[in-house]
Amino acid sequence: MIGEKVIHQPDLKLAVPHDWERPSLAARLRAWTVGHRWSLLMLLGLLIVAAVLHGSGMTRAPAFDDDEGTYVAQAWAVQTRHALTHYTYWYDHPPLGWLLLAAWTWTTGAFSRASSAVAAGREALLVVHLASCGLLYALGRRLGLRRGFASLAVLLFTLSPLALFYQRMVYLDNLATPFLLGAFVLALSPRRRLSAYAASGACFAAAVLIKETSALLL
């Protein structure tokens, strides 16, 4: 209106220092490594024990099993025939397990250098077992266990006579185990981010697509 004085309020903006920069990925990784150095050292020792124990003689004992031959043959069919199985007609588990086996044998050339096809599959299972050990340690820590008790859980998991017998074998249950452990580790994310929960669900879904009995843990 005429005669009224208009007062303009200045825009208030948050003052941010010009020299502020978000830490780089390398800097954050370095800080995380320093903060978890003792856990990483303990885990490294555990993985060495597991690798030596499960890798020694894994192609000789236990004896090869029919199921191992079936899953490795299906991985061979994926790699060479680009089909889910070598059978004409088949009724089996979900295919993600031998798809992952095929990814291993294709990228590493395991079929061409291993002593047998099942031995090539057991190489992949050694890697799977080491991943399961690492995730089990992480799960123990996120559940509040001290480093010693988390390490004890891993030792029991890898030193058990049943583990030495069954976890070397090319079974779908063994392939599903790291995905199940990863689902629980992500579900216990301390930052409670939605992305972690989504990744947890994806890991659980992958476990079910490897072996449908994984759904019993839901």
Number of alpha helices (DSSP H) and beta strands (DSSP E) in the chain: 10, 0
Supply the pLDDT for residue 112. 85
Half-sphere exposure of 192 (CA within 13 A, CB side): 0
CA dihedral 104→108→112→113, nearest 10 degrees, is -110
Supply the pLDDT for residue 184. 95
Instruction: Indicate the helix (H) or strand (E) that contains 102.
Output: helix 96-108
Supply the pLDDT for residue 56. 86
Name 187's Cβ contacts closer than 8 Å, sequence gap at least 6. Answer: 196, 197, 200
Per-residue pLDDT of the chain (218 residues; tens, 9 = 90+): 455 555 555 555 555 555 556 677 666 666 656 656 666 788 888 889 889 988 888 888 888 888 888 899 899 888 888 878 777 777 778 889 889 999 999 988 888 888 888 888 899 999 999 999 999 999 999 998 898 899 999 999 999 998 888 898 999 999 999 999 999 999 998 888 888 999 999 999 999 999 999 999 88
DSSP assignment of 22-72, as one string?
PPPHHHHHHHHHHHTHHHHHHHHHHHHHHHHHHHTTTTTSSPP-HHHHHHH
